[in-house]
């Protein structure tokens, strides 16, 4: 069984550094992420046109490279879609726009095998290099470390229900979706606003109370707030940036350097 870097890093007192992929579909993006030192790849099927074939290839390359692949699925995509993503090599599912306990329970049900959920069993999974593994070994391993349930906190209703959602058995990570949450709160991009910082504190408190993992996403331009979330609030999973954002930043910097050549 390949290891889950999120759980491994937490056990060693370290954060899990993730890169998001929503544009680049070639294996090279995973190899570059590995060389850079990322621990996890966040494959985005919600805000992209990536196919399941793209996702499977990226997951397989991640697994072979020792990077843990988590996949964000589209909102309300259904049990069958989640099944295909997991069978395609994902080590965890990111569920966006979860607002209620019932939705969180459904997310667990779709992701975990019985008795914890209702995931369907198949053989020859990429997580095991397509080797045959007995069900009595596969099910407890995948349930415990190979099918992480990541709930995105990005609605006001989710904030209102956060303690109850954090108490749901099988939910492992509460992931701040900074942009959508600030949009719902009516303070889009106002990272200094008291409503936003109160939301951060509320999520962190629920995580501690429920014994879950705190993750942050969307704060790519605010390393100061990310540092506060990690060092003060205890965040352990940090989405550093998306591939398209990193490319844009690097290209803009490069053009500045080139433009300065003739000045």
- Tokens 């749901």, located at residue: 168
- Residues 105-118 have pLDDT tens digits of 999 999 999 999 99
Average predicted confidence (pLDDT) for the chain:
96
Rounded CA separation 226/39 (Å): 17
Given the structure tokens 């205890």, which residue do they identify? 234
Average pLDDT over residues 205-213: 98
Give the pLDDT of residue 235: 98
pLDDT (tens digit per residue) in 65-109: 999 999 999 999 999 999 999 999 999 999 999 999 999 999 999
> Which one from 47, 193, 197, 228 is the annotated catalytic residue?
47
Instruction: Show the domains of the chain with their CATH numbers.
Output: 5-262 (3.20.20.60)
Q: CA–CA separation, 66 vs 5, rounded Å?
A: 8
Q: What is the pLDDT of residues 143-165, one digit of tens each?
A: 999 999 999 999 999 999 999 99
**228 has catalytic annotation:** no
pLDDT at 123: 86
CA–CA separation, 62 vs 77, rounded Å?
24
The three-point CA angle 64-66-69 to 5° equals 85
250-256: long-range contacts, CB 8 A cutoff, minimum separation 24: none
Helix (H) or strand (E) holding 215: strand 213-217
Cα 212 from chain centre? 14
Residue 10 and residue 236 in contact, taking contact as beta carbons nearer than 8 Å: yes
Q: How far apart are CA 11 and CA 28, in angstroms?
A: 29
What share of the chain has pLDDT > 70, as a percent? Answer: 100
Cα–Cα dist 237/22, whole Å: 18
3-state class (DSSP) for residue 261:
helix
What pLDDT, on the 0 to 100 scale, is given for residue 263?
Answer: 79
Closest CA to 86 of 49, 59, 67, 61: 59
Backbone phi and psi for residue 64, each to the nearest 5 degrees, phi listed first: -70, -25
- Is residue 187 within 8 Å of residue 211, measured between CB atoms? no
pLDDT at 250: 96
Write out pLDDT tens, residues 187-200. 999 999 999 999 99
Res 113: pLDDT: 96
Residue 2: predicted pLDDT? 76
């Amino acid at each position: 069984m390949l290891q889950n870097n999120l759980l491994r890093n937490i056990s060693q007192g370290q954060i899990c550094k993730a890169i998001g992929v929503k544009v680049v579909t070639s294996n090279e993006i995973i190899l570059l992420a590995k060389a850079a030192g990322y621990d996890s790849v966040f494959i985005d099927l919600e805000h992209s046109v990536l196919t399941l074939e793209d996702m499977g290839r990226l997951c397989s390359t991640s697994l072979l490279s020792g990077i843990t692949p988590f996949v964000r699925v589209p909102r309300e995509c259904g049990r069958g879609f989640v099944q295909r993503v997991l069978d395609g090599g994902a080590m965890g599912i990111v569920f966006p726009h979860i607002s209620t306990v019932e939705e969180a329970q459904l997310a667990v049900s779709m992701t975990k095998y019985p008795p914890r959920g209702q995931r369907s069993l198949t053989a020859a999974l990429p997580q095991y290099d397509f080797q045959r593994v007995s069900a009595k070994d596969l099910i407890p391993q995948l349930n415990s470390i190979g099918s992480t349930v990541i709930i995105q906190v990005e609605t006001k209703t989710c904030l209102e229900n956060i303690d109850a959602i954090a108490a749901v058995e099988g939910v492992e990570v509460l992931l701040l979706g900074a942009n959508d949450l600030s949009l719902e709160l009516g303070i889009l991009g106002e990272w200094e606003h008291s409503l936003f910082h109160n939301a951060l504190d509320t999520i962190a408190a629920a995580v501690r109370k429920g014994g879950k993992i705190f993750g942050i996403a969307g704060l790519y331009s605010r390393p100061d707030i990310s540092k506060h979330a990690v060092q003060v609030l205890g965040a352990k999973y940090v989405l550093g940036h998306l591939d398209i954002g990193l490319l844009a930043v690097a290209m803009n910097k490069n053009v500045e350097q080139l433009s300065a050549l003739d000045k």
